Amino acid sequence: MGEVVIAAGDLVMSDRDGVVVAPQAELAAVTRRLEQVAAKEAELHSRIAAGEIPSLLQRQPGLKDQITYLD
């Protein structure tokens, strides 16, 4: 993995997929970009729910039996 310097005030977030560090000086730009991403994801979810875009499970029904959800 790469080396990352973390300073006081930086935002550190993680989930099962990895860790991200946003420098304090970039938080406004990161927030704006995340809002754009969230809006695009919401639009895509709406279009999938409306049947405009077939979901992966609709295109490949056999996948449904291979998915395990974890809490």
pLDDT tens digits, one per residue of 23-54: 999 999 999 998 999 999 999 889 888 888 88
Task: Classify residue 5: in a domain, yes or no.
Answer: no
Task: Classify residue 22: in a domain, yes or no.
Answer: yes
pLDDT for the residue 32: 94
Give the rounded percent of residues in the chain with a pLDDT score beyond 90.
Answer: 42
Domain assignment of residue 62, given as a range:
11-66
- Average pLDDT rounded to a whole number, residues 6-20: 90
Question: Cβ-count burial of 34 within 10 angstroms (0-12 exposed, 13-18 middle, 19+ buried)?
Answer: exposed
Task: Classify residue 25: in a domain, yes or no.
Answer: yes
Give the rounded percent of residues in the chain with a pLDDT score beyond 70.
Answer: 97
Cα 44 to Cα 30: distance, rounded to the nearest angstrom? 21
Task: Classify residue 55: in a domain, yes or no.
Answer: yes
pLDDT for the residue 7: 94
Task: Classify residue 38: in a domain, yes or no.
Answer: yes
Structural domains of the chain, count? 1
C-alpha distances out from residue 43 to 2, 38, 48, Å: 34, 9, 9
Task: Classify residue 2: in a domain, yes or no.
Answer: no
